[in-house]
Structure 1
Amino acid sequence: MDNQNKNLLIATALSFAVILVWFLLFPPPEEPIDPNATATQETADTVQDVPDTASVPDAAPGEGTATTSDAATANETADDAPRISIDTPRLAGSLSLRGGRIDDLQLKDYTETIEPGSEIVHLFNPVGGGEAYYALYGWAPGSGLSAADVPGPNTDWQIAEGETLTENDPILLEWESPSGLIFRREIAVDSDYMFTVTQSVENPTEGSQRLAPYGILARHGEPVNAKNFFILHEGGIAMTDGELTEIGWGDMTDLPAEGGAQAERFQVNNNGWIGFTDHYWMATLIPEPGSGFRAAAKYDAGRDIYQTEAVLPTVEVAAGTSSEVTTQLFAGAKEWETIREYQSGGIERFVDSIDWGWFFFLTKPIFAALHWLNAIIGNMGVAIIALTLGIKALLLPLAYKSYVSMAKMKELQPEMEKIKERAGDDRQKLQQEMMSLYKKEKVNPASGCLPILLQIPIFFSLYKVIFVTLELRHAPFFGPFQDLSAPDPTSIFNFYGLLPWGAPPEGSIMALIFIGILPLLLGVSMWLQQKLNPAPTDPTQAMIFAWMPWVFMFMLGSFASGLVVYWIANNTITFTQQYAIMRSQGYKPDLLGNILSSFKKKSSDET
C-alpha cells in the first residue's frame, strides 16, 4: 500500500477517532435546571397565545378570520378539578375536567430502568407537579366573540357521557358559554397510543358566529433527561406537506422573536403534523389528512415554556346549525411497527418521526432487517450477530478482491524490505521502486482500503439504529448484558459480571479506564485482524496502526453494548474470511509467528 493511500486511510480513521473522542470527553453542555422555572406560579398566565390570526385560508376566498388575544390562558397552579381516569391495555392516567386537558399519561409497557420494581414511564404530567407536559384543545373567538365565549385551558367542563376513558368507551364533555353557544368534546383512544378528539359547537342563537378550533402541546422547561447528543434529535418536530422540520430544544430558544416569545410558523395545505419528540417517546398533533391548517413552534423565555400548536381553518356557524372537527393526538412510544401502521392509515411520513439520520437509506433497511431477525430469533444480541453475517455476505465479493490483494502484499513483504534497505533515506527512489514492484506483480494496494471505507457509513448507520430506536432499549442479550442500548455493565470491579454489583458509574474516569469484557474482546479482535494485514513500511504509520486497536477499545468502551457486539462480530467474521481467502491463494499466514515477532520487535525497540 503506497503512502498516499495509507495517508488517506489514516486520516479517515483518525478523523473518525477524534470526533468520537471529542464527543465522549466534551459532550454538549446541559442547560442548568432552574428550580423556579417549573410550573408552580400562583397566577393565571398565558401558556402561549394562539396566533392573532387563528385561521387557515378556507376554500372560499375573501372570508374573514377568527382572532384571539388570550385563547390559551392556563392556570399554572396545581389542578384540583375533577378528573376522568384513562385505562387501556397500554396507557394509564387521567384527564382534567379543567380545560379537558390530557395531562397525566403513563406507558404501561415501559419502565424507567431494568431494575425490579422500577416505575413505569410517565409521558404527560399535570401542571404543578414538575416537568408539566400536556395536550389541550379549544376554540379561538372570531369577531363578535370574546375569550369568555369559547372554551380554553381553564374551562370547567361537565361530563355528558362516560366514566372512564378506555379503548372501547369514549367520553363526552360539554360546556355552554355565556353567549349561548354549546360546545362538546368527544375523546376516544385506541388500543395503542392514538387519541381521537372531536370538537363540536352548536349555535342556538339568532346570529352567525365565527371561530377556529386549535390544539396545543405545552412543555414547561426542557426535559431533565434530554440527551443533547449530536446523533439524536430531541425537541420540536413537524411534517408539513411532505417536508420534515426538526427544531432542537436549543434551536427553539433562538427562533425569531414575536410578541414576547420566539416562534416559527408553518402553513400546511394538505397533510401534516407537529409535536415534540424525545429519545424514545413522542406526542404529536395530527389534523385530518387532506385538510389545511396553520402550525407553530414557540418558546416563552420568560416562563420557560415550549409549545407546538395546530390551528384549524375558521368555521362560520350559522344560527341554528352546528359544526365539528376531528383531530388526532399521538402520545406514546416510538415503536416502529405501531407508527408504521398509523402511517399506513393515512398519516403522511409518520415513520420519519423516528430519527433515521443522514444515512436514512441505510438505517431504514438495516433496522427493518434487524427487527425481522429479532422476531425470528427472539434475542436482539444474536440478531445483531446474524445481521452482521448478512452484511458481510453482501460485501464478500468486494472483500474477496481486497483479501487477495492483501495476500499478495504479504508475499511481497520481503522484497519490499529489500527495496527499503536499498533506498535508504531517498523517499522518491523508494516510491518509484515500490510502484514498479506493484506494477510488475499486478498488485493494487488501494484495493485493501475500499472495504474499510465502505464499513464507515454502515458502522454509523448501525450505531444510529442501536442508539436511536426504541426496540434496542432494555433489550437483553445474555448473562449480565440485559440492556444492549447501555454500555457494557461489567468490569474488573464486579469480576466481569460474576459479582452482584455494578461497574463504575458511566462517564466517570474509572469507567473509562476499567472497561468491560466486550470492549476487551473488541480490542483483541481488532489486534488479531491487524496481524493478517501487511505492516506499513513507515515507522510512524506502523506505530499508529499498532496503537489503533487499543485506542478503539477504550474509545468504544462507553458506547452501547449492542454496537460493540456488532463490532466484535464484524472483526471475527472479517478475520475468518481473510484467513480463509489468503490460504486459498497459496499464502499461509503465520499468525502465531506474527504475534511473537511483534512482541520481539517491541522488546528490541525498547532495548
Structure 2
Amino acid sequence: MDVQRVILIAALALVSYLMVLQWNEDYGPAQHQPQQQATTVSAYSNSGDSQSIAELPQASDASASADIPVTDNSAVAEAESGSLIHIRTDVLDLLVDPRGGDIIQAALPQHDAVLNSDQPFVLLEQNSNRTYVAQSGLIGQDGPDAAKGGRPLYTSQQTEYVMDGDSLNVDLVLTTDSGVQVTKRFSFAKGEYKVGVEFIVNNGSADAFDAVLFGQIKRDGTPDPSQQTSMGMQSYLGAVFSTAENNYQKVDFGDMDEERFKTSSPDGWVAMVQHYFLSAWIPAPGAEYTYQTRKLNGNYIAGFLSPDFSVAPGQTQTVSATFYAGPKDVDQLEQIAPNLNLTIDYGWLWWIASPLYMLLKWIHSVVGNWGLSIIGITILVKAALFHLNAKAFKSMAKMRKFGPEMTRLKELYGDDRQKMSQEMMKLYQKEKINPLGGCLPILVQMPVFIALYWVLMESVELRHAPFFGYIQDLSQMDPYFILPILMGVTMFIQQSLNPTPPDPMQAKMMKMLPILFTFFFLWFPAGLVLYWLVNNILSIAQQWVINKQIEAGAAKD
C-alpha cells in the first residue's frame, strides 16, 4: 500500500510538472524578443511628425503655454532632412539627425537585445515601435532652434563615422544668414558611454548673439523593453532629477500626467531610467540651471535650460553638456557626475545594498562566475549572521523539544486559556525558553535579505550572465523550474525541523507555504531563486546541527 501511494504521488508530481511546463510555454510570461526592425526616421521629414518641434522649450518658459514656441510648421514639413549620420564606437552605435542634431537612435553593441542574439540592445530609437530620443540645441533670442523655420539643418563632412583609436570627434556645422557659425561637436572616448556635446559659437555678425542651451530626453509611454521578468518587484521607469535641494528625485510618467515639474539648481542632472539602462543629460558644472518636465503630443519630456549667454561680435564661445546612454555601470556613473550612481536604485536600504554589491563584485573578480558569486555572497552573509541565526534556531529547537509537553498542557486545561497561559509561562521560565526568540533575530536580518534582493535585481552584470548547464541567463526564470522546485523542497525540509504550531489551522497553513512559495518563485529570475535555495540549504544545515546539540544535551540530562 505504501509503495502504491509513493508511485501515485510521484506520477502525480511528474504530470503536474509537465503541465506547468506546457502552460508556461503557452500562457506564461512572454520572453522579450527583439522587436521587428523599424526604419529610423527624422521627426522632421515628410513622413515624420512635423508637430515635434513644438516640444522644444522656450527660453522664457514663463508658463505651460510658453513651452510651445511660435514656429511655422508648414515650412518645416516641406524641408527635407539630410541623410542620417551614423556614428560607431566600441560601445555605442548612434544615429544623429542633421535636422537639429538630435540623437535619435542609440544601440549598445556590448549588450545583446536577447541572449545569444546578433542584434544589440537598442536604448534610444525613433520609429514605429518607440519614441525615445535625446535632443539638444540653442534657443532664446538668437538661438537657431528658436527660428521660425524650425530646427536648423546642420551639415557634416561625412555620413559615416567609425572610431579608429582612443577618441572620436564629429562636427555638425551651421552658418546662419547673419554670419554666425555654430558647430555642434560630439566627442567620444573608447570604452565610454558618455558623449560630450559642445556648441561652439563663432559670431561673425555685427550684433551680439544671445542664446540659451537646452538638453532634453523625450520618451513615449511604452513599456520598459529591458524589464525581462513580469514577476516580483519591478524596477523604476521614469525621469529622475538631481539638484542641490534633492540629490535624487523621481518624477514618473503619472506625475507628469498630473502636473509639470520645474525647479532651478546649481549644477545637477536629469535622467530617464529603466531596468538595467538609463540616459542622462549632465550640464557643465558652475552655473544655475532650470530643470523641468512636460507632456506634449503624447510624449514625456524631461530636460534642462542653461542661463542665457551672449557672444560679442567677432568672438567665439563654447557651451557644453554631457550625455550618457548606456548600462547602470556604477564605475562610469560615479565618474561622470555626483549622485548619478543613485540611478542604480536599491530603495531605502541602499546603505546596506551598496556594500553588498561591492562584495558581490569582488567575489566575481575571484571566481569569474556570477552564479558562484551569488552562492559566495549568500555564504558570507549567512556567516555574518551566524550567531544571530543560532539564537533563533536554539529557541526553535527548544520549542520543538518541549512540543509534546505543550500539547499535553493544551489537552489538560482545554478551554481554560488563562490557566493554560500560566502553565505555559511556568514551562518557559523553567526551561529558559523565549517564545519570541525565533522571531526577533529573523526580523533583524530581513533588511539584509531585502537589500540583497535589490542588488541582484538591479545589477546589470547579471543580465545574460550564465551559471552552469542549462541556466544561461541568471536574470531570467529557470526554463525547467528546477531551482524553484529545489527551493520548495528545501523550504519543506526546513519547516520539518521547526516546532509544529499548536493551532491545527496554523499548522495546516504552514504546511502549504512551501507549495505557495514554489509556485510564486517559478517565474522569478534564476539568480534570485539560487540565492533563496542556497540560503535555505545553509539554514537547514545550521538548524539540524543545533537540533542535534539540544537533543544530545537532553539525553545526558
Instruction: Give the alignment's TM-score, normalised by structure 1.
Output: 0.76
1:328-339 equivalences under 5 Å are 328-339=322-333
* CA positional deviation for 1:51: 3.5
* CA positional deviation for 1:588: 8.3
Residues 323, 146 of structure 1: CA spacing in aligned structure 2 closer, same or farther, 3 A cutoff? closer
1:201 matched to which residue of 2?
Answer: 201
Residues 78, 577 of structure 1: CA spacing in aligned structure 2 closer, same or farther, 3 A cutoff? farther
1:140 matched to which residue of 2?
Answer: 139
- Report if aligned partners of 1:83, 1:94 keep a CA contact under 8 Å in 2: yes
Residues 531, 409 of structure 1: CA spacing in aligned structure 2 closer, same or farther, 3 A cutoff? same
* CA positional deviation for 1:387: 0.8
* CA positional deviation for 1:542: 1.3
* CA positional deviation for 1:563: 1.1
1:155 matched to which residue of 2?
Answer: 152
1:499 matched to which residue of 2?
Answer: none
Paired residue for 1:413, among 403, 407, 427? 403
In the alignment, the residues of structure 1 paired with residue 51 and residue 290 of structure 2 have an alpha-carbon distance, to the nearest angstrom, of: 26
Say which SS state the counterpart of residue 400 (structure 1) adopts: helix
* CA positional deviation for 1:353: 1.2
2:89 matched to which residue of 1?
Answer: 88
In the alignment, the residues of structure 2 paired with residue 71 and residue 215 of structure 1 have an alpha-carbon distance, to the nearest angstrom, of: 19
- Report if aligned partners of 1:98, 1:156 keep a CA contact under 8 Å in 2: yes
- Report if aligned partners of 2:220, 2:298 keep a CA contact under 8 Å in 1: yes
1:505 matched to which residue of 2?
Answer: none
Deviations 1:214-272 (A, max 9, x none): 11222244346375985421111111125211122233222x2xxxxxx2112112x21
Residues 137, 573 of structure 1: CA spacing in aligned structure 2 closer, same or farther, 3 A cutoff? same
In the alignment, the residues of structure 1 paired with residue 340 and residue 143 of structure 2 have an alpha-carbon distance, to the nearest angstrom, of: 37
Paired residue for 1:518, among 463, 472, 483? 483
Residues 75, 296 of structure 1: CA spacing in aligned structure 2 closer, same or farther, 3 A cutoff? farther
Q: Which amino acid aligns with 2:292?
A: A
Deviations 1:390-431 (A, max 9, x none): 111111111122222223223322322221221112222211
Residues 332, 91 of structure 1: CA spacing in aligned structure 2 closer, same or farther, 3 A cutoff? same
Question: Is 1:288 aligned to residue 284 of structure 2?
Answer: yes
Deviations 1:68-115 (A, max 9, x none): 82489896899752233212111123322221122222100111211x
In the alignment, the residues of structure 2 paired with residue 416 and residue 539 of structure 1 have an alpha-carbon distance, to the nearest angstrom, of: 13
Paired residue for 1:251, among 232, 252, 255? 255
Question: Is 1:97 aligned to residue 94 of structure 2?
Answer: no
- Report if aligned partners of 2:143, 2:211 keep a CA contact under 8 Å in 1: no
2:528 matched to which residue of 1?
Answer: 563
- Report if aligned partners of 1:183, 1:202 keep a CA contact under 8 Å in 2: yes
Paired residue for 1:310, among 294, 300, 304? 304
1:333-372 equivalences under 5 Å are 333-342=327-336, 347-372=337-362
- Report if aligned partners of 1:237, 1:275 keep a CA contact under 8 Å in 2: yes
* CA positional deviation for 1:475: 1.3
1:539 matched to which residue of 2?
Answer: 504
1:322 matched to which residue of 2?
Answer: 316
Deviations 1:268-304 (A, max 9, x none): 12x211021121221111011233211112211xx21
Instruction: Give the alignment's TM-score, normalised by structure 2.
Output: 0.83
- Relative to structure 2, which stretch is displaced further, 362-371 or 219-228? 219-228
Deviations 1:319-362 (A, max 9, x none): 222221121000111122332333xxxx1111101111121122
Q: Which amino acid aligns with 1:279?
A: H
Q: Which amino acid aligns with 2:442?
A: I
Q: Which amino acid aligns with 2:247?
A: E
1:106 matched to which residue of 2?
Answer: 107
In the alignment, the residues of structure 2 paired with residue 288 and residue 110 of structure 1 have an alpha-carbon distance, to the nearest angstrom, of: 29
1:19-168 equivalences under 5 Å are 41=48, 43-53=50-60, 69-70=69-70, 80-114=81-115, 116-126=116-126, 128-142=127-141, 145=142, 154-159=151-156, 164=161, 166=163, 167-168=166-167
* CA positional deviation for 1:435: 0.8
In the alignment, the residues of structure 1 paired with residue 404 and residue 78 of structure 2 have an alpha-carbon distance, to the nearest angstrom, of: 81
Aligned residues, how many? 503
Q: Which amino acid aligns with 1:46?
A: I
Deviations 1:45-64 (A, max 9, x none): 43413134169xxxxxxxxx
Residues 42, 390 of structure 1: CA spacing in aligned structure 2 closer, same or farther, 3 A cutoff? closer
- Report if aligned partners of 1:488, 1:558 keep a CA contact under 8 Å in 2: yes
Residues 151, 584 of structure 1: CA spacing in aligned structure 2 closer, same or farther, 3 A cutoff? farther
Question: Is 1:264 aligned to residue 261 of structure 2?
Answer: yes
- Report if aligned partners of 2:143, 2:210 keep a CA contact under 8 Å in 1: no
Say which SS state the counterpart of residue 320 (structure 2) adopts: strand
Paired residue for 1:573, among 532, 535, 538? 538
Deviations 1:143-178 (A, max 9, x none): xx4867769973111226996253522022221112
Q: Which amino acid aligns with 1:319?
A: P
Q: Percent identity?
A: 31
RMSD of aligned C-alpha atoms? 3.1
* CA positional deviation for 1:587: 3.9
- Relative to structure 2, which stretch is displaced further, 43-52 or 351-360? 43-52
Deviations 1:129-153 (A, max 9, x none): 54132222211122xx486776997
Residues 237, 152 of structure 1: CA spacing in aligned structure 2 closer, same or farther, 3 A cutoff? farther
Q: Which amino acid aligns with 1:48?
A: E
Residues 149, 479 of structure 1: CA spacing in aligned structure 2 closer, same or farther, 3 A cutoff? closer
Say which SS state the counterpart of residue 359 (structure 1) adopts: helix
Question: Is 1:477 aligned to residue 435 of structure 2?
Answer: no
2:20 matched to which residue of 1?
Answer: none
In the alignment, the residues of structure 2 paired with residue 556 and residue 231 of structure 1 have an alpha-carbon distance, to the nearest angstrom, of: 15
* CA positional deviation for 1:441: 1.5
Residues 267, 456 of structure 1: CA spacing in aligned structure 2 closer, same or farther, 3 A cutoff? same
